Amino acid sequence: MRFFVLCICLTLSILVFAQNSLQTVNSPFDEQNAVLSPDGRTLYLTIANHPQNVGGKRDPGDIWISTWVDGQWSAPTHGGSVINDRGYNGVAGFSADGSQMFLLSHYGAKTQGISVSRKSGSGWSRPENISIPYFQNKSNVVGGYLSSDGKVFVFSAETYGSYGVEDIFVSLKGDDGRWSPPKNLGSGINTQFQELCPSLSDDGMTLYFSTNGRGGHGSFDVFKATRLDDSWTNWSAPVNLGPQVNTTGRELYYRFYENNGTAFFTSTLNSDGYGDVRMIAPGDYTPPVQVPVVEEQEEQVVEPIATASDAVRVFGSVTDTRTGEAIPATLTFTGDAGERSITADGNGYEFLATPPASYRVVITAPGYISTMEKLDVTDLSQRSLEMNFSMQPVERGTTVNLKNVLFEQSKTDLLPESYAELDVVVEFLKNNPTVAIELAGHTDNRGVPSANIELSRARVEKVKAYLVSKGISEKRITGKGYGGSRPIASNDTEETRKLNRRVEFTIKRF
């Protein structure tokens, strides 16, 4: 590796500290596009051509994850095959509450665009494509930023209407949920050369971007400009961020976080042409204090605020399936308003739900197999609802029906709602590292028996692949497809046939 001696007098000790805290993040590979989670404790970055990427050394970039531990960013770990594929994968941004992650990839969708993944247990759900009309990027460089309210997407692309090679564009999400066609930011920003990797300030008024069309310290420097109106084409003159950021190398993917004054970007200085993540922080880095986000709302009719007097009282017990005795357990209710955990004891549990609402309920207890149920509170006149749960002990031979793991009709594609229950299985296996399971796939009795067996086998493999992608050793998981040979209900009606189309797991070793 070649090293260049660069003598720069820096009075900013913060820059030295920032780089020390990133020593375990950077590697001989190409680190790019570092994006901070809303709580400031997790760093998502793209690493190109890493042998552990989904596509191996030829993979243009996978998402890797680093966490803030004891004053250092940890060595990144691969983000898994749910949010990574053989194409370029990067993070565009997060929703303000961190429950959604916006991604710079279309994951095999027929049209180019971006995607969204939702927080699911300890990981992320399979990304869903966001369609942007006329979106196209012929460039090998992928860079973009999506605002925390999910309504503004600025990105660089080589496409129709460019002034030079790559230009910066914006697409806006309308009140109807549809995205506008990309709009060029105009000659005040874009030149006949390359403009890349834009981001915005929290208020959407300051644009940061890299370009080789305006001179500066190196081949690509970071500039900033202020938006002067809502046309997105009227900007102040771009200003170079200066030597604190820009070097004789290339600086790309600049992001500034106003809540703690920290900036992350990629630089190729002293990296032999590959990118390293750099950070500038005002003193020792500390994750930001989370402040509740209050979004502006259009004037509307105010509905009465739900209180305990108009909530629905959900109550019940958690018992052992064999003995019927009450057991201590933790119930976690997750709905649109957030997540709440309560404890069940010998007297059961009680939870106040605000109708209309739907909840995912995860029940966990030491020595028992975790389970997930759905709770729908839709009857506004209902004042109380009893919901009892029974749990199976962790024993060899115990079988669990994953009734919320669903597939598209006659296909192996998992429906999005399936991942929440699979994540419960993942957590159970992580908390019980000696447990080995056998997956079993079942269909109803319609169709050709041999085809049903093959379909059930393929679905089992799909479930196994997801568990492995979440860090469970494949040596702990076996599987078999039984087709329609082991029904648990009649096949006379569609309602009973649904019960036969299922995936189960049985504990084989404990």
pLDDT along the chain (510 residues), means of 10: 34 42 85 94 94 91 92 90 91 93 81 82 83 83 92 91 87 90 93 94 95 89 96 95 90 93 89 81 65 44 40 88 90 77 85 81 90 81 84 91 83 84 90 93 87 92 92 93 88 82 90
pLDDT, residue 299, reads: 39
CATH code that applies to domain 308-393:
2.60.40.1120
Cα angle 31, 106, 463 (rounded to 5 degrees) comes to: 95
> Are 214 and 208 spatial neighbours (Cβ–Cβ below 8 Å)?
no
The reported pLDDT for the residue numbered 307 is: 41
CATH of 13-280 given 1.10.1470.10, 3.50.50.60, 3.30.470.20, 2.120.10.30 = 2.120.10.30
* CB environment 337-375: b (16+ within 10 A), e (fewer): eeeeeeebeeeebebbbbbebebbbbbbbeebbbbbeeb
d(CA 267, CA 75): 18
For the record, the structure tokens of 470 come out as: 């979440």
Amino acid identity of residue 394, one-letter, is V
Record the tokens describing residue 199, joined without a space: 């981001």
CA distance 379 to 312: 9
pLDDT for the residue numbered 9: 35
CA-to-CA distance for 121 and 101, rounded, in angstroms? 14
Q: Where are the domains of the chain?
A: 13-280, 308-393, 395-510
pLDDT value of residue 489? 84
In the prediction, which pLDDT does 494 show?
Answer: 81
**What is the end-to-end Cα distance of the chain in Å, rounded?**
50
- The helix or strand, by DSSP H or E, that contains position 500, with its residue range, turns out to be helix 494-500
d(CA 397, CA 216): 68
pLDDT at 352: 82
pLDDT recorded at residue 267 = 92
What is the bridge-based pairing of β-strands 77-78 and 72-73? unpaired
Distance between CA atoms of 61 and 266, rounded to whole angstroms? 14
pLDDT computed for residue 138 by the predictor: 83
Same CATH fold assignment for domains 308-393 and 395-510: no
For the whole model, what pTM was predicted?
0.56
* Contact (Cβ atoms closer than 8 angstroms) between residue 408 and residue 415: yes
- The CATH number that domain 395-510 falls under is 3.30.1330.60
pLDDT at 284: 60
